[in-house]
Amino acid sequence: MQIVPVIDLLKGQVVRARRGERARYRPIETPLASGSDAVDVARGFLGLYPFSALYVADLDAIQGRGDNLATLRRLRGALPQISLWVDNGAADAEAVEALTESDLRCEPVLGSESQRDAALIARHRNSPAIILSLDFRGPVFQGPEEILGAPQCWPRRVIVMTLARVGAGDGPDFERLVAIRDIAPDRALYAAGGARDRADLVLLKSRGAAGALVASSLHDGRLAPADLAAL
């Protein structure tokens, strides 16, 4: 099972995400770093385990309020060995191309909440570099319903993002993961939101998850290096 730590960027700082309520996010306080600088936090993650990938959400870009490109470039320069999964709200071919051809050398995450239709997703269904994030807020799918109804158009890797469970300590949405697995059994699914500890991750794996995106459980110490190595 692949564990992917998460960094949420807002105004150049790593923030503590909770339930998708972005207006209430504040700079993170974590024992893994001395402050909320993205490079320091990322190195804190890598001090726990040599993760192969890091998911970064540029919340300013997703909300259309600027971007954190300078911080992303600092991350790339400091961590040349790691894969960067970047969601910056890309919603057209030009935005995706800007990411894939930039010096970031990142793997774009196409969030369903940012899409106008299913065309961009379908265009990249065979791209090994593209990751789709199916975003849910409560029971409601965030994005055009045609995306959710066309699993044959999804790329190989798919994040199942339950925003209301992010940072909430409520546990993963196992039911939704299974529902997505049932309609897309040939996709590599990554659960995002709610994973509290090793037991949750073991259950996610048993229900078909290829991996999980985690943050709070790493900052809070509920996922220890021994747990990560075992998973």
Return the amino acid letter for 95.
Answer: A
CA 93 to mean position of chain CA atoms: 20
Digit-coded pLDDT (tens) for 46-82: 999 999 999 999 999 998 999 999 999 999 999 999 9
The CATH architecture that domain 2-230 belongs to is Alpha-Beta Barrel (3.20)
Q: Mark residue 205 as left, alpha or beta (left: phi above 0; alpha: psi -120 to 50; beta: remaining).
A: alpha
Alpha helices in the chain (DSSP H): 38-48, 59-62, 69-78, 93-100, 119-123, 145-148, 174-183, 198-206, 216-219, 225-230
Report yes or no: 61 and 25 within 8 Å, Cβ to Cβ.
no
**pLDDT at residue 26, as a whole number:** 82
Angstrom distance (rounded) from CA 16 to CA 1: 24
Q: How confident is the model at residue 20 (pLDDT cuts 50, 70, 90)?
A: low
Report yes or no: 49 and 61 within 8 Å, Cβ to Cβ.
no
Digit-coded pLDDT (tens) for 115-164: 999 999 999 999 999 999 999 988 899 999 999 999 999 999 999 998 76
Q: What number of residues does the chain have?
A: 231
Closest among 122, 58, 57, 64 to 93, alpha carbons compared: 122
- Mean pLDDT to the nearest integer, 34-42: 96
Quote the tokens at residue 131.
Answer: 């990751």
> Residue with structure tokens 């969601």?
87
Positive or negative, the CA dihedral 72, 77, 79, 84 is positive
